[in-house]
């Protein structure tokens, strides 16, 4: 990832992949973390006020997540608990400028797939429960997120069975 380059076009509205007007073109290393880009990540809304890992600690935190994630995947008996821990810890770190949620769902799928379950799939009907359970897990209550993952996979499999029959 550290050598992959993504073309970004800057315009008056902000970064864009496609633009036909007068814009500045540059490339961003897709594997760079926020520690490299020096961009802080904060989410403020009427529901949330989240601050993520400070930029100077992102790479260290990402190394910790990888180290502990490997241990938890190898040793924990409940792949859904491991998936929930990985998801929340990665999301709290927020190591990249973009794609952290997608990457968290991919990483969370590793313990599930290794135990014979399908990868994590958040269906549109499960999105609200997913975000609500994320908020609870952010504060330390992982059980709703574990339940959400189980239910989302069950719902996705039901959809697959319905489509295939």
Asked whether residue 104 is marked as a ligand-binding residue, the answer is: yes
Question: Is 94 one of the catalytic residues?
Answer: yes
Please state, in angstroms and rounded to a whole number, the distance separating the CA atoms of residues 101 and 2. 19
3-state secondary structure of 16: strand
Asked whether residue 130 is marked as a ligand-binding residue, the answer is: yes
Write down the catalytic residue from 18, 57, 87, 94.
94
Average pLDDT, the chain: 78
Query: How confident is the model over 125-140, as pLDDT tens digits?
Result: 888 899 899 889 988 9
For helices 143-164 and 79-93, the axis angle rounded to 10 degrees is 110
Nearest to 84 by CA among 34, 126, 130, 33: 130
Asked whether residue 105 is marked as a ligand-binding residue, the answer is: yes
Domains and CATH numbers, the chain: 6-164 (1.10.3290.10)
pTM: 0.72
């Amino acid at each position: 990832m550290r050598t992959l380059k993504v073309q970004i076009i800057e315009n008056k509205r902000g970064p864009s992949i496609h633009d036909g007007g007068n814009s500045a073109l540059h490339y961003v290393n897709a594997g760079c973390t926020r520690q490299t880009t020096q961009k802080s990540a904060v989410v403020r809304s009427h529901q949330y006020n989240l601050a993520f890992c400070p930029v100077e600690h992102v790479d260290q935190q990402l190394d910790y997540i990888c180290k502990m994630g490997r241990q938890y995947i190898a040793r924990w008996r409940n792949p859904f608990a491991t998936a929930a821990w990985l998801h929340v810890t990665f999301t709290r770190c927020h190591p990249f400028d973009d794609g952290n949620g997608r990457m968290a769902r991919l990483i969370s799928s590793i313990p599930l797939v290794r135990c014979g379950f399908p990868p994590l799939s958040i269906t549109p009907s499960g999105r609200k429960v997913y975000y609500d359970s994320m908020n609870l897990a952010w504060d330390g209550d992982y059980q709703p997120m574990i339940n959400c993952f189980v239910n989302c996979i069950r719902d996705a499999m039901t959809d697959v069975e319905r489509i295939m029959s």
